Chains A and B, each alone.
Chain A
Amino acid sequence: MAHLNTWQQLIYYYQHNGLYVWEQFSRHFLVSIYGVLFAAIIGIPIGIYVARNHHLADFVISIANVIQTIPSLALLSIIMLGLGLGVNTVIVTVFLYSLLPIIKNTYTGMSNVDANIIDSGRGMGMTKWQILYMIQLPLSLSIIMAGIRSALVIAIGITAIGSFVGAGGLGDIITRGINATNGAALIIAGALPTAFMAIITDTVLNFLEKWLQPAALKNS
């Protein structure tokens, strides 16, 4: 194949391994989604809780911040010590990295809801739960979505590194390209769909975020 240039090689690769790339693509996507989903399940309630208990906010958010500062390869390795090689390690890593944007945005969104509106809700006889789902969540949903969006974009990048612990995904193709001589085409073959995935996810979630914004506030 040495007579082909890089782009021709790339097209050749996709023609012969299209199904494989697609498999890795969906695997990659699912690993990212799972990690973020679990982070959302845990992180949103934590965000709501710290918004109600402001004194805990600094503490919780700084813990999430510390996690964020650990290099992803290091975090993967540390978790690998516990969970071994495989996809679970990557999902847990994605989960940990997603916590910060999700907790932080939930906290911000909840704290930004006008205190007067909550006061009038309480004054009308709403229970805490009703205040949450009738006022606070609808008004902060778009900000929470923005947190999930940035978490997911980060997750897609981390999953690419996840191939080092044997999780598969598009990272596998990239790694193979790095190890091969003249592997530029392979690197691009893996990196291109990864970037594509990140951009599409970002766009779709951005749209979703706008859509979730309360109708009355869309113009402002």
Chain B
Amino acid sequence: MTEDTACVEFRHVTKIYNKSQLPAVSDINLKIARGAFCCLIGTSGSGKTTLMRMINRMNPITKGTVLVNGQDVKNLNPVNLRRHIGYVIQSNGLMPHMTIKDNITIVPRLLKWSEDKIEQKVQELIQLAELPTEFLNRYPAELSGGQQQRVGVLRALAADQDLILMDEPFGALDPITRETLQDFVKKLQTQLDKTIIFVTHDMDEALKLATQMVIMNEGKVIQDDTPVNILHQPANEFVKNLLGEDRLEEAQHYTVQVGEIMLTDPVKINIGASLTQALSVMKNRHVDTLLVTDDSNHLKGFISVSKLDKRYHHVDSVSDILETKLATLHPDSYLRDYAGKILQGNMTYVPVVDHQDKLVGIVTRSALVNLVYSTIWGSTEGNIQGADKHE
């Protein structure tokens, strides 16, 4: 994901609808990188849908340039352009008179794919969506809202579109279904490496899904950054209000990095040391395991006192009882991504290594627990269960 290969780029884009004087969006400059999950978020009437619909020329562009993969969309045939951009709308837009299979294969058929290729694609997609194959012969009305929208998403992928536009796709669904579909879309996006532009007014949804968040108000971009940065540094009062107090407070925890809470003097031993030396280090430091490093501090594994005890009389070097299966963290990872795993597992600590695999510290269970207590559970006491689930 490099900045210079923007998948979609807006240059001074303005849109004025026929009968109104005020621009719906004005002078937008925006880059959306390939592989990004970009959420356009704002109140209704902020121009987010208008902006999105200019990408596939569903809305004509009044002024400025929209580039898709470096090409000005004004120079492209709109019909052909749209066939190569996935499109999902709120009310799923499935054709009620076509079966699920016919619905999914609309774009491939418009593109005149061969029957074999279409059939293959259908099977691939239905498995991806974890829907039973007999659904293919059903009509949309026979499916639940969530299933319909799942099909709506599949349809947008059917012709291998790399860019997918979604206009509040889950707005009409109940919270539980919405969450499953969010996970589904996120999974697809990362697995298949798609670029998704996602219009929403649901902040939780945006924070959960986005790698890039564009906050809009009155036709202008207010802030364009990663969710973490936006939570950390909201551009102005409007963004703060949009985020809400609770989220900003939670964000403190949200953005703690491993490096900030790790202990930098882990108990370690050189791989060449003898077991006697290991035993004395353990005794002095009151620990039951030791991290093992080589001469240049590369983490090699660990040894435990139980194994040492068993093998003490048979071997004499640390390397003989070394266990190499070891989970590690990087100092710049976010704790929110790992806290749950560490707390749920029975690890008492996790070694932290830098990008050269050098041991730089450890994160202990107690440090983590303290952090979790002080930041989330401490501030929103009633939410323990919710926070638990969140992790």
Interfacial chain B residues near A121, Cβ < 8 Å: 93, 95, 106
Q: Is A126 a contact partner of B110 (Cβ separation < 8 A)?
A: yes
- Which of chain B's residues has its CB closest to A214's CB? B97
Given contacts A124-B83, A125-B110, A130-B110, contact A215 B139 (CB under 8 A): yes
Q: Is B95 a contact partner of A116 (Cβ separation < 8 A)?
A: no
Q: Is B139 a contact partner of A119 (Cβ separation < 8 A)?
A: no
A220 at interface by CB-CB < 8 Å: yes
Given contacts A216-B139, A216-B141, A216-B142, contact A124 B107 (CB under 8 A): yes
A5 at interface by CB-CB < 8 Å: no
A residues contacting the other copy or chain, number (CB 8 A): 23
Q: Is A116 a contact partner of B93 (Cβ separation < 8 A)?
A: yes
Cβ of A213 to closest chain B Cβ, rounded Å: 9
B176 at interface by CB-CB < 8 Å: no
B56 at interface by CB-CB < 8 Å: yes
B87 at interface by CB-CB < 8 Å: yes
- Give the complex CA separation of A215 and B91 in angstroms: 21
Q: Is B110 a contact partner of A123 (Cβ separation < 8 A)?
A: no
B178 at interface by CB-CB < 8 Å: no
- Give the complex CA separation of A123 and B155 in angstroms: 12
Q: Is A117 a contact partner of B139 (Cβ separation < 8 A)?
A: no
A139 at interface by CB-CB < 8 Å: yes
Q: Among the interface residues B94, B97, B142, which one has the most CB atoms of the partner chain A within 10 A?
A: B97
- Give the complex CA separation of A126 and B81 in angstroms: 11
Task: From the candidates A124, A135, A220, name the one contacting B141 in the complex (CB within 8 A).
Answer: A220
Task: From the candidates A116, A122, A127, A217, name the one contacting B97 in the complex (CB within 8 A).
Answer: A217
- Give the complex CA separation of A216 and B143 in angstroms: 11
Q: Among the interface residues B83, B87, B165, which one has the most CB atoms of the partner chain A within 10 A?
A: B87
B residues contacting the other copy or chain, number (CB 8 A): 27
Q: Is A119 a contact partner of B95 (Cβ separation < 8 A)?
A: no
Q: Is A116 a contact partner of B142 (Cβ separation < 8 A)?
A: no
- Give the complex CA separation of A120 and B87 in angstroms: 7
Q: Is A124 a contact partner of B97 (Cβ separation < 8 A)?
A: no
A177 at interface by CB-CB < 8 Å: no
What are the interface flags for B88-110 relative to A under an 8 Å C-beta threshold, 1 for contact and 0 otherwise?
Answer: 01111111110000000011001
A138 at interface by CB-CB < 8 Å: yes
B1 at interface by CB-CB < 8 Å: no
- Give the complex CA separation of A135 and B110 in angstroms: 13
Q: Is B89 a contact partner of A123 (Cβ separation < 8 A)?
A: yes
- Give the complex CA separation of A119 and B94 in angstroms: 11
- Give the complex CA separation of A121 and B95 in angstroms: 9
Q: Is A139 a contact partner of B97 (Cβ separation < 8 A)?
A: yes
- Give the complex CA separation of A130 and B107 in angstroms: 12
What are the interface flags for B348-377 relative to A under an 8 Å C-beta threshold, 1 for contact and 0 otherwise?
Answer: 000000000000000000000000000000
- Give the complex CA separation of A69 and B84 in angstroms: 52
Cβ of A160 to closest chain B Cβ, rounded Å: 38
Q: Is A123 a contact partner of B58 (Cβ separation < 8 A)?
A: yes
Q: Is B91 a contact partner of A124 (Cβ separation < 8 A)?
A: no
Chain A positions 115-149 with a Cβ under 8 Å from a chain B Cβ = 116-117, 119-127, 130, 134-135, 138-139
Cβ of A97 to closest chain B Cβ, rounded Å: 31
B140 at interface by CB-CB < 8 Å: yes
Q: Is A122 a contact partner of B82 (Cβ separation < 8 A)?
A: yes
- Which of chain B's residues has its CB closest to A116's CB? B91
B333 at interface by CB-CB < 8 Å: no
Interfacial chain B residues near A117, Cβ < 8 Å: 93-96
Interfacial chain A residues near B165, Cβ < 8 Å: 123
- Give the complex CA separation of A122 and B78 in angstroms: 10
24 pairs from A and B in contact (CB 8 Å cutoff): A114-B96, A117-B96, A119-B89, A120-B92, A120-B94, A121-B93, A121-B106, A123-B58, A123-B82, A123-B89, A124-B83, A124-B87, A124-B106, A124-B155, A125-B79, A125-B80, A125-B83, A125-B84, A134-B95, A139-B97, A216-B97, A216-B139, A217-B96, A217-B141
- Which residues of A does B touch, CB under 8 Å? 114, 116-117, 119-127, 130, 134-135, 138-139, 214-217, 219-220
- Which residues of B does A touch, CB under 8 Å? 56, 58, 79-84, 87, 89-97, 106-107, 110, 139-142, 155, 165
* 10 closest residue pairs by CB, A with B: A120-B93, A216-B139, A214-B97, A125-B83, A123-B87, A125-B82, A116-B91, A138-B97, A125-B79, A216-B141
